[in-house]
């Protein structure tokens, strides 16, 4: 583990503002730091920013387009079919479905996050909550995780994820064999071993906060080291995590955060 982990374990104050400033510039892939800075600049209502707004919008649009084009590259490279947006029902109620978007994580963003985790990954099982077509699980196979697990509500997406593993193995000559759990995260139990939970914006905002509270409850029966990676945490959930005594922040970049469980052995 890196220094930040030990700082928290010893109960010393971790200055989250300082951490946020430090981690802003860790978002190097696709000029993430510039994207975040310009997105924030759009908000203030000063004359100077109002004048520059069209230029800021153009730069943001250009950066977005560039990322979109780049996102298809993982599939081109590995023969998989993970790219594209889909609307999926996520509450199991056919009469009043809550729809949420599926889209795979960009490979460069995934690598950026993994590179910045101050822990040795080899003792952890990688668990993608809301694993969709399996992109993050496939990407995690580049790292020395003990096992790979995907939890996904939508069984058609899990079938696609299985096909993607086959294509990926054929293309790379690897023999990765992730475990897929088809069903609701809220009904699922974690492996009895150290886990890294990966949340890439899997739920609508109100459910995300409930999901974090649920995870803490489940983990209270689970006496193992745990890491939590959250990409694009909604504000309520991010604030909750930052104040929770269950989690200690290790990295606080604008678009992704890494926490370690405080009470694990």
The angle formed by the CA atoms of residues 159, 165 and 169, to the nearest 5 degrees, is 155
Q: Which of 130, 190, 249, 254 binds ligand SAM (CB under 6 A)?
A: 130
DSSP β-bridge partners for residue 259: 228, 249
> In Å, what is the CA distance from 43 to each residue of 47, 83, 231?
12, 31, 22
With contacts defined by CB under 6 A, how many residues of the chain interact with ligand SAM?
25
128 binds ligand SAM (CB under 6 A): yes
Q: Strand 86-89 to strand 99-102: parallel, antiparallel, or no bridges (unpaired)?
A: antiparallel
Scanning 72-194, the segments in alpha helix (DSSP H) are 73-78, 107-115, 135-140, 155-172
Q: Tell me the window of 30-38, 124-132, 215-223, 234-242 that interacts with ligand SAM (CB under 6 A).
A: 124-132
75 binds ligand SAM (CB under 6 A): no
Q: Write down the least CB distance from residue 29 to ligand SAM, Å.
A: 15
Q: Which two tokens stand for residue 177?
A: 């064999």
> In Å, what is the CA distance from 81 to each residue of 68, 110, 138, 161?
15, 17, 12, 9
- How many residues are given for the chain? 265
90 binds ligand SAM (CB under 6 A): yes
Q: Write down the least CB distance from residue 199 to ligand SAM, Å.
A: 8
149 binds ligand SAM (CB under 6 A): no
Taking residues 226 to 265 in sequence order and writing x for each that binds ligand SAM by CB under 6 A, - otherwise, the string is: ----------------------------------------
159 binds ligand SAM (CB under 6 A): no
- Using Cβ positions, the residue closest to ligand SAM within the complex turns out to be 130
Taking residues 198 to 227 in sequence order and writing x for each that binds ligand SAM by CB under 6 A, - otherwise, the string is: --xxxx------------------------
d(CA 107, CA 141): 12
151 binds ligand SAM (CB under 6 A): yes
Radius of gyration of the chain (CA): 19
């Amino acid at each position: 583990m890196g220094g930040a982990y030990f700082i928290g374990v010893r109960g010393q104050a971790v200055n989250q503002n300082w951490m946020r400033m430090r981690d802003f510039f860790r978002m190097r892939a696709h000029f993430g730091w510039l994207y975040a800075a310009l997105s924030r600049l759009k908000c203030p209502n000063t004359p100077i920013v109002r004048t520059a707004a069209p230029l800021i919008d153009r730069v943001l649009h250009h950066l977005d387009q560039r990322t979109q084009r780049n996102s298809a590259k993982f599939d081109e490279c590995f023969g998989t079919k993970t790219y594209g947006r889909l609307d999926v029902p996520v509450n199991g109620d056919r009469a009043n479905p809550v729809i949420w978007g599926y889209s795979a994580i960009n490979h460069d963003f995934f690598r950026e996050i993994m590179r910045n985790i101050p822990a040795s990954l080899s003792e952890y099982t990688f668990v993608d909550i809301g694993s969709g077509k399996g992109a993050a699980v496939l990407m995690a196979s580049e790292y020395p995780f003990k096992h790979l697990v995907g939890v996904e509500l939508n069984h058609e997406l899990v079938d696609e994820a299985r096909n993607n593993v086959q294509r990926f193995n054929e293309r790379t000559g690897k023999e990765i064999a992730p475990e897929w759990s088809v069903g609701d995260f809220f009904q699922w139990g974690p492996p009895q071993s150290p886990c890294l939970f990966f949340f890439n914006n899997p739920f609508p905002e109100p459910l995300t906060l409930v999901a974090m509270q649920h995870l803490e409850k489940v983990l209270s029966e689970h006496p193992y080291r745990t890491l939590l990676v959250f990409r694009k945490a909604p504000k309520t959930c991010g604030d909750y995590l930052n104040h929770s005594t269950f989690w200690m922040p290790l990295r606080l970049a604008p678009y992704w955060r890494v926490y370690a469980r405080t009470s694990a052995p």
